[in-house]
Structure 1
Amino acid sequence: MGIGFACALLAGSAHASVTIGGTRVVYPLEQREVTVKLDNDSHTPSLVQVWMDDGNANAKPGEVKVPFVITPPIFRMDASKSQTLRVMYSGEALPQDRESIYWLNVLDIPPKANAAADVSSLQMAYRTRIKVFVRPAKLPGKPEDAPAQLTWKVAASKDGKGQAVSVSNPTPYYVSFSEVDVQSGGHTFKNEEGGMVAPRASVVLPVTKMNGVPAGAKVHYIAISDYGGAIDGDATLGQ
């Protein structure tokens, strides 16, 4: 007797047949809706389920209350076809002086590789999860200028055995990083995880093997723009 297993994985779009047309979504809060394009790049159909969460990656569809509605929430995508999602703000109160953030989840469930009754099969369901930045109207400044306004300081690492960097964000925009390096004494210490700092908040980013780095060292970062592009910048590490 055949045994089928369905496994939902936190996987990037490189492993999934269904891909999202972008690495992030920006939702201007004054707009009634935004659209997100999906493409099925495979030669087979997929069953697709979409939902949003508020930061809990383990939340199942329907478990988290978010101020957005997505249509269609579940659908079949034929091979080599596209589907447009409509994301609509439902009107609940959100901060007007800074961005808010949610996450869009796309679960891609391809057909079984072998549906024969006497063959065991492993059916993999791939999930792609991207950020949705909710942007109120008339925020001061420009999001692409926010990375240059950050301040950087030496901080203790979480395990207390070395150093990390603390980055503070005085702007109303989220800033995400794909890369952060600290250069000191001919050595380069790398953050290998990326990270994000919320509006008017601070976060400590781990940096591999960083120790004994003084104030005044150089920080090089690559932030991510609204369109997924790179914003290169340099800063001085404070104490």
Structure 2
Amino acid sequence: MLPRSIATGLGLLTLLMATQAAASISLSATRIVFDGDHKEANITVRNGNQDVLIQSWVDTSDAQDSAAPFAVTPPLARIFAKEQQLLRVLYQGAGMPTDRESVVWLNVQEIPQAAASDNTLQLAVRQRIKIFFRPSGLPGDALSAPAQLEWQLVKRDAGSVLTVKNPTLYHVSMADIKLQAGQQTELAADSTMIAPGAEKQFSIKQLSRQDSVQLSFSSINDYGAQDKYSAQLVPHLAAKATGTRAKP
């Protein structure tokens, strides 16, 4: 008989393998940009090695997962092995702000097939991606929004606070927000998104006494690629970052 610790480890490994096998579907994009000039946006669901049934819907991602003024067709679809299904996201024409970009969420959930035997754990795998709704005629553009962010490092007794303000009408998704001074580097946030007109703060501990630090971050564009930005920050002075856009 195997020791309990080994048996438990094998059980967890088996469960992990089963969980990975359950994720049969994949999406053709990591985000959807819904142009308000159009009536719909599309995304493709690709299937793997077994027939699956998927259920799709849009919500606002609040505490109650409130419904958003969008519909997905087909809401329920069977996809055969090695096949794909086009999902159409339709906007009902009202219910979203018209003066700024908004974000809702597309959910695509794989409904597991009936178990071949008893005592089998089945998991319903759900994938969620952002839908960026851009009203018609919105001034500016999302591509230039990261360069408009206003960054400021403020010294305080217990450390420093890195503040970022978004004066634009577009969301900015960021990854790997770092501060560097000499050989020291501090990660302020591994990923975050700042909404139009919003402000966020990050506590800084290690580099709190530096008089000048180098800020760097990646901005995730409409295609899921990461554009690189950087700026030199002096405490209590606002600054904007300059960037290098990822090649298509």
TM-score over 0.5 (shorter chain): yes
Matched ranges for 1:139-178 at <5 A:
139-154=138-153, 162-178=159-175
Cα 1:111/1:14, change in 2 over 3 Å: closer
Q: Which residue in the other structure is 2:84 paired with?
A: 82
Q: Give 1:115's aligned amino acid.
A: A
Q: Which residue in the other structure is 1:3 paired with?
A: none
Distance 1:213 1:14 in 2: 49
Distance 1:98 1:219 in 2: 27
Q: Which residue in the other structure is 1:123 paired with?
A: 122
Q: Which residue in the other structure is 2:59 paired with?
A: 53
Distance 2:155 2:71 in 1: 41
Cα 1:101/1:215, change in 2 over 3 Å: farther
> Which secondary structure state, in structure 1, belongs to the residue aligned with residue 218 of structure 2?
strand
Q: Which residue in the other structure is 1:184 paired with?
A: 181
Q: How big is each residue's C-alpha offset from its partner over 1:97-136, in whole Å with a ceiling of 9 and x where there is no partner?
A: 2101101111112325x513xx310001111111100001
Distance 1:14 1:150 in 2: 42
Distance 1:37 1:162 in 2: 47
Q: Which residue in the other structure is 1:26 paired with?
A: 33
Matched residues, number? 216
Q: Which residue in the other structure is 1:132 paired with?
A: 131
Q: Kindly state the Cα deviation for residue 138 of structure 1 after the two structures are TM-superposed.
A: 2.4
Q: Kindly state the Cα deviation for residue 146 of structure 1 after the two structures are TM-superposed.
A: 0.8
Distance 1:96 1:189 in 2: 38
Cα 1:14/1:43, change in 2 over 3 Å: closer
Q: Give 1:84's aligned amino acid.
A: L
Bigger Cα displacement from structure 2, 88-97 vs 27-36: 88-97
Alpha-carbon RMSD across the aligned residues, in angstroms, is: 2.5
The alignment status of 1:36 with 2:33, answered yes or no, reads no
> Which secondary structure state, in structure 2, belongs to the residue aligned with residue 85 of structure 1?
strand
Cα 1:187/1:89, change in 2 over 3 Å: same
The alignment status of 1:223 with 2:219, answered yes or no, reads yes
Higher-Rg member (1/2): 2
Distance 2:22 2:184 in 1: 35
Cα 1:188/1:121, change in 2 over 3 Å: same
In 1, are the aligned partners of 2:110 and 2:124 still within 8 Å (CA)? yes
* Residue of 12, 23, 33 corresponding to 1:16: 23
In 1, are the aligned partners of 2:186 and 2:207 still within 8 Å (CA)? no
Q: Kindly state the Cα deviation for residue 166 of structure 1 after the two structures are TM-superposed.
A: 1.8
Higher strand share: 1
In 2, are the aligned partners of 1:53 and 1:66 still within 8 Å (CA)? yes
Q: Which residue in the other structure is 1:7 paired with?
A: none
Bigger RCO (CA 8 Å, 6+ sep): 1
Matched ranges for 1:62-77 at <5 A:
64-77=66-79
Q: Kindly state the Cα deviation for residue 206 of structure 1 after the two structures are TM-superposed.
A: 5.5
Aligned structure 1 segments of 4 or more residues deviating by more than 3 angstroms: 160-164, 213-216
In 2, are the aligned partners of 1:179 and 1:223 still within 8 Å (CA)? no
Higher helix share: 2
TM-score of the pair, normalised by structure 2? 0.78
Q: Kindly state the Cα deviation for residue 210 of structure 1 after the two structures are TM-superposed.
A: 3.9
